[in-house]
């Protein structure tokens, strides 16, 4: 299914995890993918995987939390492949779980700089072109923690909740130009972020107790949803929070 043929997609944080799966699936559906990551090596690996499978992709190396750097990187990539039709604001950091009193101002600032300001800077960079063409898709990546919260994670949950608020406001504001804005809020997904803890008996027991489907999601299961929201099939869907989470948050 090549329903994204002729479209250009920018995926931030596409060097690994959900972002890489997003990039791969969008490329499979026919999109030219601008692969962003702050790490040149992992961005290049995603590009190589797409090109090796017969797709088209270019790297876009830069920290989304740095307005000047990411804007220049996006502009350089756009000169190579054309204006951006699809933006997936996926870049993020996890941060360790900490009690409220232990979260430093620096940790809090960095969490919001990457998740919230990063999405803001990238959206600001692509929005003028979308307005001119009278169409566009913006997909923000939040989390079930942004919907339901979790103790010892207020800095992360707060940043992810802010993305939901941005999505709803942008959906109303950008509708005039036929730009749909939605948010994907995954639950537990098999990515490198959890490290060895995901294999612990404690985590496995918690998974069995709290997730009705009794398993983690796969990155591709999030990416398939992203690809749908990036397609014309979702043209009447905007401002929505869609959460692939195995039933953990309903």
| pLDDT value of residue 145 | 97
> What percent of the chain has pLDDT above 70?
98
Tell whether the model's pLDDT for residue 51 goes beyond 80. yes
Options 121, 156, 203, 236, the catalytic residue: 156
Tell whether the model's pLDDT for residue 230 goes beyond 90. yes
Tell whether the model's pLDDT for residue 198 goes beyond 90. no
Tell whether the model's pLDDT for residue 194 goes beyond 80. no
* Class of residue 108 by CB neighbours under 10 A (exposed 0-12, middle 13-18, buried 19+): middle
> What percent of the chain has pLDDT above 90?
93
**Residue 236 a catalytic site member:** no
Residue 101: enclosing H or E segment and its boundaries? none
pTM to 2 decimal places = 0.97
DSSP state letters, 175-220: GGGTEEEEEE---SB--GGGGGGGGSHHHHHHHHHH-TT-SPBPHH
| pLDDT value of residue 33 | 99
Q: Which CATH class is domain 8-242?
A: alpha beta
| pLDDT value of residue 104 | 96
Express each pLDDT in 211-223 by its tens digit.
999 999 999 999 9
C-alpha–C-alpha distance, residues 245 and 212, integer Å: 9
C-alpha–C-alpha distance, residues 10 and 26, integer Å: 10
| pLDDT value of residue 189 | 95
Q: Six-digit token pair at 132?
A: 């001119």
Tell whether the model's pLDDT for residue 196 goes beyond 90. no
Tell whether the model's pLDDT for residue 232 goes beyond 90. yes
| pLDDT value of residue 195 | 67
**What average pLDDT does the structure give for the chain?**
96
Express each pLDDT in 145-182 by its tens digit.
999 999 999 999 999 999 999 999 999 999 999 999 99
Are 77 and 50 in contact by the 8 Å Cβ rule? The answer is no
- The answer to which of 1-5, 66-70, 127-131 has the lowest mean pLDDT is 1-5
Locate the domains of the chain by residue range: 8-242
- What band does 200 get if pLDDT is binned at 50, 70 and 90? confident
Tell whether the model's pLDDT for residue 45 goes beyond 80. yes
Express each pLDDT in 83-137 by its tens digit.
999 999 999 998 789 999 999 999 999 999 999 999 999 999 999 999 999 999 9
């Amino acid at each position: 299914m090549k329903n994204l043929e002729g479209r250009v997609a920018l995926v931030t944080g596409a060097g690994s995890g959900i972002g890489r799966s997003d990039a791969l699936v969008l490329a499979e559906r026919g999109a030219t993918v601008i692969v962003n990551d702050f790490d040149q090596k992992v961005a290049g690996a995603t590009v190589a995987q797409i090109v090796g499978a017969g797709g088209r992709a270019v790297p876009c190396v830069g920290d989304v939390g740095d307005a000047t750097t990411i804007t220049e990187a996006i502009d350089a990539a756009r000169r190579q492949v054309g204006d951006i039709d699809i933006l997936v604001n996926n870049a993020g950091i996890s941060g360790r779980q900490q009690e409220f009193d232990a979260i430093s101002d620096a940790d809090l600032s960095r969490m919001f700089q990457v998740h919230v300001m990063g999405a803001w800077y990238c959206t600001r960079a692509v929005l003028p072109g979308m307005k001119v063409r009278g169409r566009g898709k913006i997909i923000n990546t939040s989390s079930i923690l942004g919907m339901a919260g979790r103790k010892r994670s207020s800095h992360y949950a707060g940043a992810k909740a802010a993305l939901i608020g941005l999505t709803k406001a942008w959906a109303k504001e950008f509708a005039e130009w036929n730009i749909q804005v939605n948010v994907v809020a995954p639950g537990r997904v098999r990515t490198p972020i959890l490290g060895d803890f995901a294999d612990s008996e404690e985590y496995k027991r918690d998974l069995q107790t709290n997730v009705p489907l009794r398993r983690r999601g796969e990155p591709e299961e999030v990416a398939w949803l992203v690809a749908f929201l990036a397609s014309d099939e979702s043209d009447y869907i905007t401002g929505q929070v869609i959460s692939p989470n195995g039933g953990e948050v309903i």
